[in-house]
Copies of this chain bind each other. A is one copy, B any other.
Amino acid sequence: MTDRNGDSDPYQSLAESVRRLIDVTIRTEAGAAAVAAAKANVDRAVEELSADLMPGSFGVRPIVDEQPPASGNVLIGVRNPVAPPLVIRRGADGAVFTEVTLGAAYEGPPGHVHGGVCALILDHVLGATAHQPGRPAYTGTLTLRYLRGTPLGPVRVEAHVDRIDGLKTFARGHIADSGGITVTAEGVFIFPKAAKERDDDRTR
């Protein structure tokens, strides 16, 4: 990733290298000596980065040096090596989708995405369609239906708002591979009452 000046963001570049490291840590067949040498390099990197750490987690920060505010997020965080990271695209109709390739790091059954990873991604993508600007929505319930296993590799994830009823937004979505839908999801997302009361013109 590059900023407006075409320079790489050092934190994002680092996270991209750590994503590659996660993959080869799982998949390496290198012998004990090579693995020990690699570990020594990893430990050096940990020491260099630990010289100055923020307390606790990343949270959501004001944009500094163009780092996106949710950079630490487990799914969309460009600084979080656990995140693929997802890039959520929003259509004109409010529906959202994302395309992502899920590799060895997300494995459950051999050669397949862990069913719980499908749940993790669907929770986020359904939330992204329910969550409107200035109208944060929190997951109330989420129901997943597994039609078949999701092979590791490229998938497409889609979600849309089915209906809105007072404080509740009902969203639907699915994960699909080239052969069709593998997992469907329905979620009820709650618009916190305090936020609604602030917005509401009516006196209660």
Binding site for B on A (CB under 8 A): 10-11, 13-15, 17-18, 20-22, 24-32, 34-39, 41-46, 48-54, 56-60, 71-75, 77, 79-82, 103-111, 114-117, 119-124, 127, 138-146, 149, 152
Contact = CB atoms under 8 A, between A and B. Distances in A.
B140 A145 contact: yes
B108 A57 contact: no
B26 A52 contact: no
B80 A26 contact: yes
A118 to B, nearest CB: 8
B49 A28 contact: yes
Query: Which 8 pairs between the two chains have the least Cβ-Cβ distance?
Result: A116-B123, A116-B120, A59-B110, A119-B119, A57-B104, A28-B49, A38-B45, A24-B49
Nearest to A140: B146
A75 B114 contact: yes
B73 A46 contact: no
Contacts of A124: 108, 114, 116
Given A116-B123, A142-B143, A42 B25 contact: no
19 contacts: A10-B32, A13-B39, A24-B50, A25-B49, A28-B49, A30-B49, A34-B49, A56-B152, A60-B109, A108-B124, A114-B124, A115-B139, A116-B123, A120-B120, A123-B144, A138-B149, A142-B143, A142-B144, A143-B144
Contact of A139 (B13, B17, B81, B146): B146
A177 to B, nearest CB: 15
A60 B26 CA distance: 12
B26 A48 contact: no
A33 to B, nearest CB: 9
